[in-house]
Amino acid sequence: MSEMTPEIYQPSPAVTANAIVKDYEEMSRFAGENLEQFWASQAEKFFWFSKWQKVLDNANQPFFKWFVGGQTNIVANCLDRHLATWRRNKLALIWEGENGDLRTFSYHALNREVCKFASVLRSMGVKKGDRVTIYMGRVPELPIAMLACAKIGAVHSVVYGGFSIEALQGRIEDSQSNVLITCDGSFMNGKVVELKKIVDEALRRAPTIEHVIVYKRTGQNVAMEAGRDYWYHDLVALPLARSLSNSGCETEIMDAEDPLFMLYTSGTTGKPKAILHTHGGYMVGIGTTLQTVFDIKEEDRWWCAADPGWITGHSYIVYGPLLLGATSFIYEGAPTYPYPNRWWSMVEKYGINILYTAPTAIRGLMRFGEAWPNRHDLSSLRLLGSVGEPINPEAWRWYYRVIGKERCPIMDTWWQTETGMFMITPMPVVDLKPGSATRPFPGVEADVYSEEGKPVAVGEEGYLVLKRPWPAMLRTIYKDPERYVKQYWSKFPGVYFTGDSARKDKDGYFWIIGRVDDVLKVSGYRLGTAEIESAFVSHPDVAEAAAIGLPHEIKGNAIHAYVILKAGATPSEALAEELKAHVANNLGPIAKPEKVTFLTQLPKTRSGKIMRRVLKARAQGIAEGDLSTLEE
Ligand code: WT7
């Protein structure tokens, strides 16, 4: 992957002629010179119960505030305001189950479901500011539950349905949720994931939960605890829920800065942190970026193939498309089920116009060959997107040629759970270089810094930083403002530290290299080495563990672990397998290590910190670098 390759792809006239943004340069110049005016003009496109007094309040940095004094609710913009227009009859969601089930929701129908469920939550005593944990498969009731929470001002905390007991329990405990919404099970790759069973285990040690609401998806037998567990379908059928959904289910008026949701992500310590996003700024940021980058038109069918349980899903499956009154497609299951043409058959069947996915998914499908996509008519596609990790040029070219038939530009969007919205990204009118996320979104100022906090020279590697605030930025880490300041605003005072390294080329294009902290990207998923290591150490035979990421053809990175056993335990192939299963069980299948190696000693600094980079260099057979701090 090199920015030295002169390979440049110009967007086709068919795409640029009707693009919503015609002039990226001009938009960037304007936003750069008039940041507040730029975002205010975007905010005016949304509904506010009362208008803001101040666009950006930077009096108490880094605790920035946006649209201060404004009152809105993201749901008033995602649903309520569309109901008085022709969009009432437009499809908001199209959903296909892994087994072929099909469900569609007009804006009217989606609102009705959200109102019913919001009434249920209210009648259970859920109020503005309360936290609700959502742990579900990829069913329409997941976005419905999120929207119902937001509508009544509750703060949702979605825990990805691929996480296991420990991860769920820790997130419930940290958020102090009283209500948990789940499913009996979910379908994935022809198998059933037993969500309710995992919930039951997690709740043994999560005493704050008073009510569990269970959506029936698979129909398998589950234990229902009387007085605690309720079926979703029973609750929404109650006369109270039905009658309130007609007229009495008011959308709560929220301050722009009131929290909308928290979402846990991995950091450099073992404890995942809850990133907090708000109603006002987040709404303006994601609505604006989705419309301008993916050029969403009324008649488009948009498919973001992520999981709603990640930030990509929050911003660009659920809230973003609904803000725009767009039609969003959701698929429940695995891309290769039952055959590797599943995605392409759905692009054809539903006439998808814009497809947004991750490099790991592209690489995974690429290995089955071109024959699978070539069996389908993909001519409805106009734009493609990529997110989650740097896309290797080989995958980029395959995606461009085989899926987009050299017609569809690829929007490689760089952003994070913390940024809420796209930050470095092309627009359909920008020249593309495979492997580069191109340039910052208008109003975003990105740079590459040296260790000393100075901009590095063109082409040199350094730390990726963001120099100006943006509306969808995280406001804090839930209950831990100190960690927020330390993690993001202390390495270089006054600028936001992304945790990534990057290079900028002579055209101002950014080339993201990867994480520089103890965070791994495995299949686009973010995992902290500390979390993985603590899962290892929870096994009775393990004394100590170190986890690193090594290159993997499909996953991007795979987890390799070095383990020191306790006295009395003997290394064996069977034990290595047992440990892999143990970690997968603890954190979820995505965290299953590729390889476990037994050692008697780990490279450490004199202060006892594991030197993961030394393990990594040794594993790859490359120079170990500066070893002056190594104790051995
Ligand atoms: C990290 C954030 C934001 C949605 C999904 C991931 C990496 C993300 C790109 C890209 C290169 C990327 C970065 C970033 N990343 N997009 N287009 N090119 N790297 O969210 O789990 O919060 O992870 O993903 O390393 O810091 P996340």
Q: Which amino acid is at 497?
A: F
Q: Are 148 and 121 in contact (CB under 8 A)?
A: yes
Q: How many CB atoms lie within 10 A of CB 567?
A: 5
- Decide whether any atom of ligand 1 lies within 6 Å of the 272 Cβ: no
- Decide whether any atom of ligand 1 lies within 6 Å of the 315 Cβ: no
- Cα–Cα distances (Å) from 481 to 61, 65, 279, 492, in that order, read 12, 14, 19, 17
User: Which residues in 24-154 belong to E strands, given as ranges?
Assistant: 54-57, 65-68, 71-72, 91-96, 102-106, 131-135
Give the whole-angstrom CA distance, residue 428 versus residue 419: 21
Rounded to two decimals, the pTM is 0.94
Q: What is the pLDDT of residue 387?
A: 97
- Decide whether any atom of ligand 1 lies within 6 Å of the 333 Cβ: no
Give the whole-angstrom CA distance, residue 434 versus residue 396: 6
Q: Which residue has the higher pLDDT, 474 or 624?
A: 474
50 has pLDDT over 80: yes
242 has pLDDT over 80: no
- Decide whether any atom of ligand 1 lies within 6 Å of the 343 Cβ: no
Mean residue pLDDT of the chain comes to 95
pLDDT tens-place string over residues 58-85:
999 999 999 999 999 999 999 999 999 9
Q: What is the pLDDT of residue 5?
A: 56
- Cα–Cα distances (Å) from 185 to 93, 191, 584, in that order, read 22, 10, 18
- Decide whether any atom of ligand 1 lies within 6 Å of the 523 Cβ: no
Measuring from atom 5 of ligand 1, which residue has the nearest CA?
A: 388
pLDDT tens-place string over residues 159-205:
999 888 989 999 999 999 999 999 999 999 999 999 999 999 999 99
Give the whole-angstrom CA distance, residue 129 versus residue 276: 12
pLDDT tens-place string over residues 586-631:
888 999 999 999 999 999 887 778 888 899 999 998 887 777 767 6
- Decide whether any atom of ligand 1 lies within 6 Å of the 413 Cβ: yes
Q: Which residue has the higher pLDDT, 586 or 416?
A: 416
pLDDT tens-place string over residues 496-516:
999 999 999 999 999 999 999
Instruction: From 312, 317, 415, 477, give the residue whose CB has the most ligand 1 atoms within 8 Å, as the site to mutate.
Output: 415
288 has pLDDT over 50: yes
Considering only CA atoms, which of 114, 119, 221, 135 is closest in space to residue 183?
135
- Decide whether any atom of ligand 1 lies within 6 Å of the 526 Cβ: yes
632 has pLDDT over 60: no
In percent, how much of the chain has pLDDT > 70?
Answer: 98
- Decide whether any atom of ligand 1 lies within 6 Å of the 42 Cβ: no
The answer to which of 17-31, 459-473, 538-552, 595-609 has the lowest mean pLDDT is 595-609
DSSP 213-261: EEE-SS-------TTTEEEHHHHHTSHHHHHIIIII-PPPPEETTSEEE
The answer to which of 353-357, 396-400, 517-521, 628-632 has the lowest mean pLDDT is 628-632
Q: What is the pLDDT of residue 1?
A: 45
Measuring from atom 20 of ligand 1, which residue has the nearest CA?
A: 416
Give the whole-angstrom CA distance, residue 58 versus residue 401: 46
Q: How far is the CA of 550 from the centre of ligand 1 (A)?
A: 17
